[in-house]
A and B are shown apart, each in its own frame.
Chain A
Amino acid sequence: MLDGVIAGLTTALTVQNLIMVVAGCLIGTFIGMLPGLGPMSIIAIMIPVAISIGDPAAALIMLAGVYYGAIFGGSTSSILINAPGVAGTVATSFDGYPMARKGLAGKALAVAAISSFAGGTVGAILLFGFAPALATVALLFHSAEYFALMVVGLSAIAAFAGTGKVAKALLMTIVGLMMATVGESALFNAPRFTMGIQDLQSGFSFITLAMAMFALPEAFHMVLDPKRSRRGQPSGGEIKDLMITRQEAKAIAPVVGRQSIQGFLIGVMPGAGATIASFLGYAVERNIAKGEEQEEFGKGSIKGLAAPETANNAACTGSFVPLLTLGIPGSGTTAILLGALIALNVAPGPRLMIDRPDIFWAVIVSMYLGNVVLLILNLPLIPYIAKVLAVPRNYLIPFILFFTLMGSYIGQNNATELLILVGLGVCATIMRFADYPLAPLLIGFILGGMMEDNFARAVNITDGVSFMWERPGTLILLIVGVALIFLPAWRRRRAFARQRAQVRKEGVADGD
């Protein structure tokens, strides 16, 4: 393992890769600040650029930098104008924006950057220990277990979708799996379900799908509802005084310590990413805080700002564990990264650590470097980068639309791809209005091909589906997967029953 770490260090510390980290973080911060462009859209837009770099380590290092930068940029716009560009930083605005309104914008940004840094640091250390251990276990897995593991991953994503959304998330996952069967695959001799359309011969392009699911609906939404893009109100405070006192550092230290571990563990679970980690972190810290400090939450408490910031960064790091060790993405963003890796001819999974230790460790080392870059380079530059928030909407939206079109065109060099993009984007916008979560579709799409490969291999080895109950590992995983889907439904039913009992007790007619 030590050899691998050293190989990773030497790869990550080359001049080219250091430039990649810095460039990725700056681009990510810059774009992440714009309302409407989250890390998923930014990474999707950057993929053609990353692929043209050619070197998988450098490309992945840059994309990881973009990811961090985007989360940091999102925090900045949450704090400065109360317009979170990213769902994972919504909780940041609860206390960050009130702080900025009090004229403490600089301090708020510093607290955000320092707690992100601490969260990322602890996350990276845990990743260092966790990932190799998990990869060792994963080496014992066969295709049957992989298939079952993917079922668990997909059902976990549906299960974490939120109240009343489990069935919708499940449906979206299945649609994603269906879309993955379109076109040619390595397993079979003829392309499937192309409906005779030549352009579908090689299947849907995942970049196009990513753009259509995330970037376009967000942009359309900004046009449809101008209030959404104008919701942000400049706090008026100037950005100055980017330092925190020793007292403040003492106050946030325990928060940072707890949230970095909690955030990391949440990030490791499939389906629960930075957004859940940040909300949960905020809630936990508010409950733990005593008396006066609890009152302060929501009015500009530095603890309330440090908690979600630490948690979301630690969760970002945590979400790399299943990606790098099992090859299974736990969130939309890691799903896009997985797509990029496959395009670069790198198969993530337990073998990655053995076959390409340089890539594996270089990514982990550079994730840490990314945190350092954010702290020492981006933070002082924030007052200048924040100028991008002044770009008028009439120019911002055409540019977002143009970059989505370009991202999808460059990948395929095919104008039909653009029509598919627009069509899917319009559908995705309508689905968003009906509260259908879109990330499960993309994750299903990316896992679909792998899932079928592993399923086919397992079926071919055992000449049937008996592996599902004959292999204990597979059986346990499949039971967990099914339980994850039915658990929320069972809990909802219980809540319904309790509500009904309550209503009967109060003597009110029952009827809904």
Chain B
Amino acid sequence: MALDRWIALIFLVISLIYGYAAFHYPLLPFERGMAFLPNTQPMALSVLGAVVALVILFSRKAPTDDEDLGGIDLDEVRQFKIGQTLGLVAAMVLYALLLRPIGFLAATSLFIAGCSIVLGERKFHVLIPIALVTALVIWYLVQETLGIYMRPWPWFIDN
């Protein structure tokens, strides 16, 4: 089964779960008499979603236009750098988890340096200064110019 049908199947399941939640929506007592209920549109959407997902699942294969802009040849997928991409995803997750505890400056410079290293950069004498300067400049811009508070230092420094 092609990838797009797998995705349609997943959306079918999502529509069904969403539909279950919509049809069993716990209405508040005074809401029951209203003409428009909180679950009116969700119920309609879940039915529509399931129908369209089924259409994609069971329709004949559409003639694909190769000149499509975002289109990708699935044979090329094998040559894709999946390891690098997963490394970057992991770096983003780590950044999300560490941003609060270790502070903006440390997290950001580690993130930029880490991503560059994952991508194959080995010139550390260029890499580290760039990461540090970026973190400082962005922190200054966000905190001073935009006035949005960003905790710069780790948890053990009181700030």
Contact = CB atoms under 8 A, between A and B. Distances in A.
Nearest to A437: B70
B68 interface: yes
A235 to B, nearest CB: 21
B82 interface: yes
A394 B108 contact: no
Contacts of A418: 92, 95-96, 99
A51 to B, nearest CB: 9
Nearest to B38: A188
A512 to B, nearest CB: 7
B13 interface: no
Interface stretch (A19-27, A103-111, A248-256, A406-414): A406-414
A469 interface: no
The prevalent SS among residues of B at the interface is helix
Contacts of A451: 41
A389 interface: no
B23 interface: no
B3 A433 contact: yes
B97 A415 contact: yes
Interface residues of B, number: 77
A224 B100 contact: no
Contacts of A188: 31, 38
Interface in A436-475: 436, 451-452, 455-456, 459-460, 463-464
Given A174-B48, A178-B45, A190-B28, A405 B69 contact: no
A237 interface: no
A171 B52 contact: yes
B41 to A, nearest CB: 5
Given A171-B49, A174-B48, A418-B96, A398 B85 contact: no
B45 A398 contact: no
Contact of B4 (A87, A226, A436): A436
Contacts of B36: 187, 455-456, 459-460
Given A167-B55, A171-B56, A223-B84, A87 B146 contact: no
Contacts of A434: 2-4, 6-7
Interface in B55-113: 55-56, 59-65, 68-72, 74, 76-77, 80-82, 84-85, 88-89, 91-93, 95-97, 99-100, 108, 111-112
A223 B11 contact: no
Contact of A181 (B2, B42, B95, B142): B42
A398 B121 CA distance: 11
B115 interface: yes
A167 B61 CA distance: 12
Interface in A135-172: 162-165, 167-168, 170-171
A397 B38 contact: no
A162 B88 contact: no
B157 interface: no
Contacts of B95: 405, 418
A131 B139 CA distance: 41
A399 interface: yes
A87 B69 CA distance: 8
Interface residues of A, number: 69
Interface centre among B52, B65, B97 (most CB of A within 10 A): B52
Contacts of A415: 96-97, 99-100
A430 B89 CA distance: 13
A395 interface: yes
A406 B15 CA distance: 32
A409 B99 contact: yes
B31 to A, nearest CB: 7
A220 interface: yes
B81 A226 contact: yes
B41 A452 contact: yes
Nearest to B138: A406
B49 A178 contact: yes
A189 B27 CA distance: 10
A225 B52 contact: no
A201 B81 CA distance: 37
Nearest to A512: B60
Contacts of B84: 223-224
A421 B130 CA distance: 25
Contacts of B41: 177, 181, 451-452, 455
A299 interface: no
Most B-side CB within 10 Å, residue of A181, A187, A395, A409: A395
Interface of A: 48-49, 52, 87, 90, 162-165, 167-168, 170-171, 174-175, 177-178, 181, 187-190, 192-193, 220, 223-226, 275, 392-395, 397-399, 401-402, 405-406, 409-410, 413, 415-416, 418-419, 421-422, 426, 430-436, 451-452, 455-456, 459-460, 463-464, 492, 496, 512
Q: Closest 9 CB pairs between A and B?
A: A164-B62, A418-B96, A398-B115, A434-B4, A394-B121, A456-B36, A434-B3, A188-B38, A459-B36
Interface of B: 2-4, 6-8, 11, 14-15, 18, 21-22, 25, 28, 31, 34-36, 38-42, 45-46, 48-49, 52-53, 55-56, 59-65, 68-72, 74, 76-77, 80-82, 84-85, 88-89, 91-93, 95-97, 99-100, 108, 111-112, 115-116, 119-121, 130, 134, 138, 142, 146-149
21 contacts: A48-B146, A162-B68, A164-B63, A174-B49, A177-B45, A188-B31, A220-B85, A223-B85, A395-B116, A398-B115, A401-B88, A406-B142, A422-B89, A426-B89, A432-B70, A433-B77, A434-B2, A434-B7, A436-B4, A451-B41, A459-B40
